[in-house]
Amino acid sequence: GQNIDQPTEMTATEGAIVQINCTYQTSGFNGLFWYQQHAGEAPTFLSYNVLDGLEEKGRFSSFLSRSKGYSYLLLKELQMKDSASYLCAVRVYSGGGADGLTFGKGTHLIIQP
Amino acid sequence: DSGVTQTPKHLITATGQRVTLRCSPRSGDLSVYWYQQSLDQGLQFLIQYYNGEERAKGNILERFSAQQFPDLHSELNLSSLELGDSALYFCASSRGGASGDYEQYFGPGTRLTVT
């Protein structure tokens, strides 16, 4: 089976930097996604890592270490609109195009003025 | 707007009933995924279809079934509904296959309330 852990809730200040960690244990690992989800809305794609290292996209960066089963999402220059849940998801590929995502329970990020 | 559409947006029904949720993927996407999101369980993968065929099954109950039609839209059927089935149901789509494009785009969801 798969197990994904991330903190339940974090608080940060507008304009600051926050790092959200995710650890996973899975077989058939084939990439890790980060999604942002505002309450009652659909998850929206932030990043995808399949190789070790850092991927940067504007104010958001994501890091992956496959040997450690570890990833983090880094958010810079925080804005109030960044208050949302951040979901870590592992892509497990089992052949024949089968690749559902297994999600962590999400980290609720609260941005304070 | 992700390009994935879902209907209906809200659904209220009684225990024991059967409902059908509908999803149209983004233009060109061959894979469709269904997810259930409840407050205590988070986002759970139910089932995946690729170009009309079932590809992967997650935590889908036997009371639930799905299919993908030749025009690639998909339906999720939920029967003998229980109070615990109340949740947000999301459909997602991706290019799939050998495209190398694995990003899943989520629809706006259907909120199901079972009373």
Residue type, A18: V
Q: Do A100 and B107 touch (CB under 8 A)?
A: no
Task: Output the pLDDT for position A110.
Answer: 98
Q: What are phi and psi of A104, to 5 degrees?
A: -75, 175
Percent of chain B scoring above 70 in pLDDT? 97
Mean pLDDT over the full length of chain B: 93
pLDDT tens digits, A46-64: 999 999 999 999 999 999 9
Residue with the larger pLDDT of the pair B97 and B21:
B21
Q: Do A45 and B44 touch (CB under 8 A)?
A: no
The C-alpha of A78 sits at a distance from chain B's nearest C-alpha, in angstroms, of 23
| CB-CB neighbours of A4 under 10 Å | 21
Low pLDDT (below 70) residues in chain A: 1
Q: What is the DSSP letter of B26?
A: P
Cβ neighbours for B49, distance < 8 A, ≥ 6 positions apart: B31, B32, B33, B55, B66, B67, B68, B74
The C-alpha of B27 sits at a distance from chain A's nearest C-alpha, in angstroms, of 18
Torsion of CA B1, A5, B95, B36, to 10 degrees: -60
Integer angstrom CA distances of residue B14 from B63, B83, B87: 15, 8, 14
